[in-house]
Amino acid sequence: MNEYLELKIITRLSVIFEGKVRSVTSFNKKGKFDILPGHSQFISLVTNGISFFDERQNQKSLVLANGVVRVIKNTITVFCEIQDI
């Protein structure tokens, strides 16, 4: 099984991240969820934020105003608005 996922995070203005990751964590109405390699097809509204571990095991996080996450065959696409800090 592939040990990486392809992640693409898109705002209406640009692609803010595109690359391989080991895992993704986010939140929806029911709480926290994780996406790992081999995850089944999935779509959800996301709230609060998203964090992920890149290829080098560095954790990165973004605060989201709102968004949608879609998982298909180890490819994760996040369409979102970034929270102003």
Encode pLDDT of 6-50 as tens digits: 999 999 999 999 999 999 999 999 999 999 999 999 999 998 899
Give 67's strand partners: 46, 80
Residue 71: give its domain's CATH number: 2.60.15.10
Structural domains counted in the chain:
1
Which domain range does residue 28 map to? 5-82
Encode pLDDT of 43-58 as tens digits: 999 988 999 998 889 9
**What confidence score (pLDDT) does residue 45 get?**
96
Q: Give the tokens for residue 22.
A: 């080991």
Give the predicted TM-score (pTM) of the model. Answer: 0.90
**CA proximity to 60, closest of 45, 71, 73, 49:** 49
Whole-angstrom distance, CA of residue 61 vs CA of residue 46:
14
Neighbours of 7 (CB within 10 A): 25
First to last CA, the chain: 38
The residue whose two tokens read 């895992």 is: 23
